[in-house]
Amino acid sequence: MQKIDGKITAAKIKEEIAAKIQEMVAAGGRRPNLVGLLVGHDGGSESYMMMKTRACEQCGIRSSLIRMEPDVTQEELISKINELNRDNDVDGFIVQLPLPKHIDEQAVVEAIDYRKDVDGFHPINVGRLAIGLPCFKPATPSGVLMLLEHYCIETRGKHCVILGRSNIVGKPLANMLVQKAYPGNCTVTVCHSATPNINEMTRQADILIAAMGSPGFVTEDMVKEGAVVIDVGTTRVPDATRERGWRLCGDVDFATVSPHCSFITPVPGGVGPMTIVSLLHNTLLAATGEVYKK
Amino acid sequence: MQKIDGKITAAKIKEEIAAKIQEMVAAGGRRPNLVGLLVGHDGGSESYMMMKTRACEQCGIRSSLIRMEPDVTQEELISKINELNRDNDVDGFIVQLPLPKHIDEQAVVEAIDYRKDVDGFHPINVGRLAIGLPCFKPATPSGVLMLLEHYCIETRGKHCVILGRSNIVGKPLANMLVQKAYPGNCTVTVCHSATPNINEMTRQADILIAAMGSPGFVTEDMVKEGAVVIDVGTTRVPDATRERGWRLCGDVDFATVSPHCSFITPVPGGVGPMTIVSLLHNTLLAATGEVYKK
């Protein structure tokens, strides 16, 4: 069994991104510029944004944060988005979700110029992903594929079973892994809350990706000997032994499942660290115009 | 075994569409208007367009055909598309594919205003389909779902195995059937040319959808007793006994497979007649503004 180390992989890819940016700048190019839009004062959102900003700094990406009060109107928010859409010095920007309830999130996502949508949530990016065209890929699925690639895991013709059908993880992962590409070319099965015989499906998986947000759901008896197991779950569960009172818990019962795997990601330290790397990667691609011509 | 009759189903739905349009017009509304854009003189494309025009007439949809010579430039074609995008009297329009090789099909598809894209090929419609939002759904997958619905076939929690991952059938079908909806809520597996153990997968299918374009590929031994089998294949195979020298052949060996099915579509007369109905349905939705507000 080999443990897939997301921290080390993320650090390596960040170094690669940093090197490319240094090269661009040395050649007289602009430094990529990412803007974050944060509405309100939610602690979780604040700390995500801080992590993203710090990661940008590490790679030599300029980044800045625009804060808006929680009572901002949808019109004001979209007007700010239009400003960023027009600003030639901004390569990409992200609107931290969730948004206050009086704002229509989908309308906000669709207001973003898809050529600057480094979160990959705009329908044009979702659609191009589905038909296998260049696009900004969503962060978490993209992080999963980077891990498979980094560990040279064979995917062609493998049966990949995905647990969960969220719009930001399960569905895009299915759309990515079915493509004629590497990583990809998998036979893909998507299971979810309406799947009656989930154990029967998971036991067939050469590659099992758990993205349900159900701590410890995947147990030993559900996994085939030698399977690759990717755990996307990150649920905070109470833990009195920790100072902060909680710990992150994946969808896979690591202790019992891991001895049966060829590769497995831990939680924390598996997929988690990769998501920000995907965002940095998209920002670089936005700056170079590799996905959409400038 | 019940044979799913696409001709009768299509005729019924056409009547429903015609009735709705009559109602709209009686209430003083505009008659829906579909425009077809045909480049070149390909026999197949000509006859598809004629069929679409005739079906429009049957339902009371206005339709017209714009012909362009095969040497039309991409710019000229896109300029015509922009004209149709702006024309308030045009509810929807379609560009018959394939296009001559000197034209970038994807660029043409993306030039169409997604709110008039009744073929459902624009990335915005593809993306909204994937995340389960209202959109124009592509014709063939939509026709398959209409058949499942018309025959009241239970789909929730069923294992749907799709053979084929084309952008116009396999992939959108997978994206539709995984949604929390009816028809849908299936455990969905997509198999394709890189799937090594395809028989093992098909034998698990409660609902098997064949969309490979491989005549007679699905044989008796590949189908579970009582399965629902939907055959999307339509390949012309030589047939000296027919006056025209060919017949349409599905991906399923109907003679041996059908005795084992609860429901099965024949070829021809199954999914085929439904695709035009989906187009008419989309045109109606475009006219009423039910998908995208006018």
Report the mean per-residue pLDDT for chain B: 97
B262 membership: H or E segment, kind and range: strand B261-264
The C-alpha R_g of chain B, in whole angstroms, comes to 19
Contact A235, A268 (CB under 8 A): no
What beta strand segments (E) does B96-241 contain? 159-163, 187-191, 207-210, 227-231, 235-238
Q: Give the pLDDT score at B68.
A: 97
Are the Cβ atoms of A124 and B124 closer than 8 angstroms? yes
Domain coordinates in residue numbering, chain B: 29-130, 139-272
Contacts of B107 in chain A (CB under 8 A): none
**Using an 8 Å Cβ cutoff, are A129 and A184 in contact?**
no
Whole-angstrom distance, CA of residue B64 vs CA of residue B42: 18
Contact call for A132 and B167, based on CB within 8 A: yes
pLDDT at A284 over 90: yes
Residue B74: the pLDDT is 98
Distance in angstroms (rounded) separating the CA atoms of residues A162 and A198: 10
Kindly determine whether residue A187 and residue B189, on different chains, have CB atoms separated by under 8 Å: yes
- DSSP state for residue B218 in the 8-state scheme: B
Across all residues in chain A, what is the average pLDDT? Answer: 97
Chain B residues close to A195, C-beta within 8 Å: 157, 187
CB contact under 8 A, B171 and A131: yes
Cα(B228)–Cα(B208) distance, integer angstroms: 6
Contact (Cβ atoms closer than 8 angstroms) between residue A119 and residue A269? no
Which residues are CB-neighbours of A105 under 8 A, at least 6 positions away? A97, A98, A99
* CATH of B139-272 given 3.40.350.10, 3.40.50.1000, 3.60.20.30, 3.40.50.720: 3.40.50.720
Pairwise CA distance, residues B6 & B144, whole Å: 9
Going by C-alpha positions, the residue among B5, B16, B21, B2 that lies closest to residue B284 is B21
Quick check: B294 pLDDT over 90? no
What pLDDT does residue A294 have? 83
Q: Which amino acid is at A200?
A: E
DSSP H helical segments within B60-188, as ranges?
74-86, 105-111, 123-130, 139-150, 170-177
The pLDDT tens digits of the residues spanning B26-64 come to 999 999 999 999 999 999 899 999 999 999 999 999 999
Question: Would you say the pTM of this structure is higher than 0.90?
Answer: yes
Among residues B5, B14, B52, B116, the one annotated as catalytic is: B52
Token digits of residue B145: 């779902």
Which CATH number is A31-128's, of 3.30.2320.80, 3.40.50.10860, 1.10.3720.10, 3.90.76.10?
3.40.50.10860
Instruction: Say if residue A183 is preceded by a cis peptide, omega within 30 of 0.
Output: yes
CA angle (B184, A184, A209) in 5-degree steps: 60
Residue type at position A212:
M
- Rg of the Cα atoms in chain A: 19
Domain covering A139-274, topology: Rossmann fold (3.40.50)
* A/B interface, count of CB pairs below 8 Å: 116
Nearest CA in chain A to B131: A167
> Is the Cβ pair B192, A191 closer than 8 Å?
no
Quick one: residue A31, left, alpha or beta (phi over 0 = left, psi -120 to 50 = alpha)?
beta
Report the DSSP beta bridge partners of residue A37. A66, A95
Q: Helix/strand/coil (H, E, C) string of chain A?
A: CEECCHHHHHHHHHHHHHHHHHHHHHCCCCCCEEEEEEECCCHHHHHHHHHHHHHHHHHCCEEEEEEECCCCCHHHHHHHHHHHHHCCCCCEEEECCCCCCCCCHHHHHHHCCHHHCCCCCCHHHHHHHHCCCCCCCCHHHHHHHHHHHHCCCCCCCCEEEEECCCCCCHHHHHHHHCCCCCCCCCEEEEECCCCCCHHHHHCCCCEEEECCCCCCCECHHHCCCCEEEEECCCEEEECCCCCCCEEEECCECHHHHHHHEEEECCCCCCCHHHHHHHHHHHHHHHHHCCCCCC
Which of A209, A168, A179, A176 lies closest to A191 in space, CA to CA? A209
Residue B113 a catalytic site member: no
Alpha-carbon gap: A28 to the closest alpha carbon of chain B (Å): 32
Pick the CATH number of B29-130 from 3.40.50.2000, 3.40.640.10, 3.10.28.10, 3.40.50.10860: 3.40.50.10860
Closest CA to A91 of A116, A121, A65, A128: A116
CB contact under 8 A, B106 and A133: yes
**B124 contacts in chain A (CB < 8 Å):** 123-124, 127
The whole-number pLDDT of residue B229 equals: 99
Q: What six digits make up the tokens of A55?
A: 């990661």
A86-138 pLDDT, tens digit per residue, is 999 999 999 999 999 999 999 999 999 999 999 999 999 999 999 999 999 99
* Candidates B131, B167, B189; nearest CB to A188: B189
Q: Note the Cα A71 to chain centre separation in Å.
A: 28
User: Which of B127, B133, B167 is facing A124, going by the closest CB pair?
Assistant: B127
Residues of A noted as catalytic: 52, 96, 119
Span A54-58, average pLDDT = 95
Measured in residues, chain A has a length of 294
Q: For B169-197, what is the mean pLDDT?
A: 98
Question: Is A31-128's fold the same as A139-274's?
Answer: yes
Q: Rounded to a whole number, what is the distance in Å from the CA of A217 to chain B's nearest CA?
A: 18
Q: Do A187 and B194 touch (CB under 8 A)?
A: yes
Residue A112 to residue A283: CA distance in whole angstroms: 15
CB contact at 8 A, A264 and A257 = yes
Q: What residues in B contact A172, CB-CB < 8 Å?
A: 130
Please list every residue in chain B whose beta carbon sits closer than 8 Å to the beta carbon of residue A131: 123, 126, 167, 171
Bridge partners of B252? B218
Q: What are A's interface residues with B at a Cβ cutoff of 8 A?
A: 106, 122-133, 156-157, 159, 165, 167, 171-172, 174-175, 178-180, 185-192, 194-197, 201
Cβ atoms of B186 and B178 within 8 Å: the answer is yes
Q: Is B52 a catalytic residue?
A: yes
- All residues of chain A having their beta carbon less than 8 Å from the beta carbon of residue B122 are 127
CA separation for the pair A211, A188 (Å, rounded): 14
Q: What are the tens digits of pLDDT across the range B80-138? A: 999 999 999 999 999 999 999 999 999 999 999 999 999 999 999 999 999 999 999 99
φ, ψ for residue B196, nearest 5 deg: -80, -35
H or E element in which residue B277 lies:
helix B272-288
